[in-house]
Structure 1
Amino acid sequence: MKVILTGSTGFVGSAVLAQLIAKHHDVVTVIRRAGGATTGHTQSYIVPNFAADSAFRTALTGREVVIHCAARAHVMQETTSDPLVEFRAVNVDATLALARQAIAAGVRRFVYISSIKVNGEGTEQGKPFKANDVPAPADPYGISKMEAEQGLMALAKESDMEVVIIRPVLVYGPGVKANFRSMMNWLNKGIPLPLGRIHNKRSLVALDNLVDLIVTCTQHTAAANQTFLVSDGEDLSTTELLTRMSKALDRPMRLLPVPAGLLQLGGKLLGKDAVMQRLCGSLQVDISHTRQTLGWVPPVSVDSALRKTADHFLATV
C-alpha cells in the first residue's frame, strides 16, 4: 500500500509511521522542517506551513491513501486573540486543501484523525457518546475539527475518494506528555493525591490500539465514508486509573478519600473548574459501531498498555 502520512513526528503520527514500516508499506511523510524525525525507509516532503495555499501535489503523486494526523493541537493556555481563526487555518483550510489535491492526484482513501471534542466535553455516566450523535463542540479546537469533518464528507460525496473519520479519546502510551505524564510523575514520587473517592467513568485509548484502528481503516472496505469512535473498551474512574497506574509503576498508592463534590467546590473557588471537570467528570464513548462495522477489537488490554507506558516513563526519568 502506498501511503502519505502527515504529522509523522507527533505522538500518534510517529507510532503510525513505525507500524506502517513494520508492515512493509510504501510511506511518504509530509513534514514542516528539515531534520524532523524520519526513517530511511520513507521519503519526506517539506511543507513549511500547513495552510489553504500549501502545495501537496508532488508528495501525493502515486499515493493510494492519505493518513492525516497533522493538526494545530488543543492548547491549554491559549494566547492568540482569536483562537478559532488559528485553528481553522490549519485544521480546516489546510486539511481541505490536502484533500482536494488528493482527489486531483487520484488518492482512493483519506483517513482523518479528528477528536472526541467534536462530540463534546463530557457525558452523563452511563450515557456514552456515539458516532452518529449530533456534534456539540465547545471550544475552538473542537469546532475546527467538526468543520474539517464536514468539509471532508462533502468532498467525498462530490468525488470518488473515500473518507474515514476517527475520533480518539485521550491517548496514552510510551512517550505521552502533558497531564498523563504529570500524573505518572506524582505517583512515582509518592505524592499523596486527594483523588481516592472519584466515581466518574472516562474512556481512554492506548496508542497501540489507536494505531491498530488507523491502519485497519486504510484498507477495510466497510470503513469507507464512516465515522468511528475509538477507546480501549474499558472505562475507568480517575481513582481506578491512578490505582492501576500505581501498580504499573510498582509504587505504593497514596490516594486520600476526598469526596468529589468537595474537590469540585475547591476547584470553583480557585478558578480551576476545567481541571476538576477532567478529574471528576465523565466522558465515555460507545465503540460498538467501530466493533461491528470493522470486526475490530482493541488488541491491547488497559493493564498491558499502562505497564508499557510506565516502563517507558521509568526509563526516561
Structure 2
Amino acid sequence: MIGAELATLLTGSSGFVGAALLQCLRGGGCDVIPLIRTPDARPSGSVSAVSVGEIAGTTNFAAALVGITTVVHLAARVHVMHDTDVDPLVAFRAVNVDGTLNLARQAAVAGVRRFVFVSSVKVNGESTQSGRAFTEIDAPTPQDAYGQSKHEAEQGLRQLAADTGMEVVIIRPPLVYGPGVKANFAALMRAVQRGWPLPLGALHNQRSLVALDNLLDFIVTCVTHPQAANQTFLVSDRHDLSTAELVCGLAQAAGVPARLLPVPVWALQAGATLLGKGDAVQRLCGNLQVDIAKARILLGWVPPVSVSEGLRRAVSGIKNNEKNV
C-alpha cells in the first residue's frame, strides 16, 4: 500500500505511462488527483481531476496544488520524429523546461514535499560503447532538442530543490514497452505477429528497455522511499537485449516463429541511408545500455517483472486492442 496520506498530483495521466500509473497509484490506496488540460479530458472515475489548461511557463497551478504532498510530473512535449517547428528547441523548452519549472516553483510554495520528474535517458545521450553502460554520474550529452530540454529541466529542478528544500527525484527511463505501447515498438510487434521476415538476424547489439510495470513500480518507489530524495536514477529491466533477441522474445510471446534474415549491418545501414531512414536503423543497430546499480543499492529496487513476462504483457495488450477494433 502506498498510503492515503500521500495526496499526489499526477500530470500526463492520459498518456501511455500516465494512465497506467493513475490506476497503479489508486490501487495502492493513494489519493491521486490527475491534472488535465480540459474538463472533457477527465480520466474515468476521476471526480477530483483538476483542469488548468496547457502546462506552460504562465499557467496558474494553485487550485491543483491545494493539499498536495507529492507531484509526479509525466506530462511533456515528447520526442517528435518529423518535427515541423521552425525552432524545435524553443517549442520543447516552452513545455518541458518553462512549464515544468513553473509547476515545480508553485509546488514548492504550496508546501509540496516531493517532486518526481520523469525525464529521459536521452539526457545521457543516444548510444553507448559496447560494454559501457550509462550511469547517473556520466556527463550529460543530449543530442536533440527533446533531450536538451529534459536536461535543462533537470538542472532547474536541482537548483529549485537547493533553494527551497522541496525534495526532487529525477528518473531517466529508456524505451518503455507494455500494453498500449505505440509507435515503432507497436509496429515491430505487429510485424512479428504477422510473420513478416525481418532483416535483423545479424544484429548483436545490446539495448536496455523497461517494461511498463517495472517503470510503474520504480516510480512508486521514488514517491515513497526516503533515500530517493534529491537523487537521479536510471531504470531498466536489468536484462539487456539485442534487436534480434527482442524479435525472438516477441515471437515467443506471440506464439509464432521468429523470421529473421541475417542481413549484414553495413547493408542495413546503407539501404536505410538511401531511404532517409538512417536514424531509425541506428536505433535498431546501435547499443544503448544503462546501469541500474544505484537504484538497486540505494533503494533496494529489483525489477518485479521479467523481460519475458513484460514482452508477453505487451503482446497481449496489442492483441486485445486489435480484438476491440
**What is the TM-score when the length of structure 1 is the normalising length?**
0.98
Residue in 2 aligned with 1:85? 90
Task: Tell me whether 1:292 sits opposite 2:286 in the alignment.
Answer: no
Residue in 2 aligned with 1:6? 11
Conservation of the 8 A alpha-carbon contact between 1:115 and 1:167: yes
Conservation of the 8 A alpha-carbon contact between 1:60 and 1:105: yes
Deviation at 1:145, TM superposition (A): 0.1
Residue in 1 aligned with 2:26? 21
Distance of 2:107 and 2:164 partners within structure 1: 11
What are the Cα deviations for residues 179-219 of structure 1, in whole angstroms up to 9, with x where unaligned? 00000111111111111110100000000000100011011
Conservation of the 8 A alpha-carbon contact between 1:26 and 1:42: no
Letter in 2 for 1:203: S
Letter in 2 for 1:298: P
Distance of 1:315 and 1:26 partners within structure 2: 30
- Where does 1:99-110 land on structure 2 (aligned, <5 Å)? 99-110=104-115
Structure 2 gaps of 5+ residues are: 1-5
Conservation of the 8 A alpha-carbon contact between 1:21 and 1:41: no
Residue in 2 aligned with 1:54? 59
Residue in 2 aligned with 1:316? 321
Question: Which of 34, 37, 43 matches 1:32?
Answer: 37
What are the Cα deviations for residues 246-265 of structure 1, in whole angstroms up to 9, with x where unaligned? 01011121111111122112
Letter in 2 for 1:120: G
- Where does 1:1-317 land on structure 2 (aligned, <5 Å)? 1-40=6-45, 43-317=48-322
Conservation of the 8 A alpha-carbon contact between 2:33 and 2:46: no
What are the Cα deviations for residues 17-65 of structure 1, in whole angstroms up to 9, with x where unaligned? 1110001111111111222251325511112211101011111011100
Distance of 1:179 and 1:221 partners within structure 2: 36
Conservation of the 8 A alpha-carbon contact between 2:42 and 2:49: no
SS of 1:27's partner is: strand
Structure 1 gaps of 5+ residues are: none
- The 10-residue stretch of structure 1 (72-81 or 254-263) with the greater mean CA deviation from structure 2: 254-263
Distance of 1:39 and 1:22 partners within structure 2: 14
Q: Tell me how large the CA RMSD over aligned residues is.
A: 0.9
Deviation at 1:15, TM superposition (A): 1.1
Q: How many aligned positions are there?
A: 317
Residue in 1 aligned with 2:3? none
Distance of 2:137 and 2:21 partners within structure 1: 26
Letter in 1 for 2:238: G
| Sequence identity percentage | 56
Letter in 1 for 2:296: R
Deviation at 1:175, TM superposition (A): 0.4
Distance of 2:172 and 2:42 partners within structure 1: 25
Letter in 2 for 1:51: A
Distance of 2:110 and 2:47 partners within structure 1: 20
Conservation of the 8 A alpha-carbon contact between 1:68 and 1:112: yes
What are the Cα deviations for residues 211-235 of structure 1, in whole angstroms up to 9, with x where unaligned? 1000110111100100000000000
Conservation of the 8 A alpha-carbon contact between 1:6 and 1:29: yes
Conservation of the 8 A alpha-carbon contact between 1:29 and 1:42: no
What are the Cα deviations for residues 64-107 of structure 1, in whole angstroms up to 9, with x where unaligned? 00000000000011011100000000000010000000011000
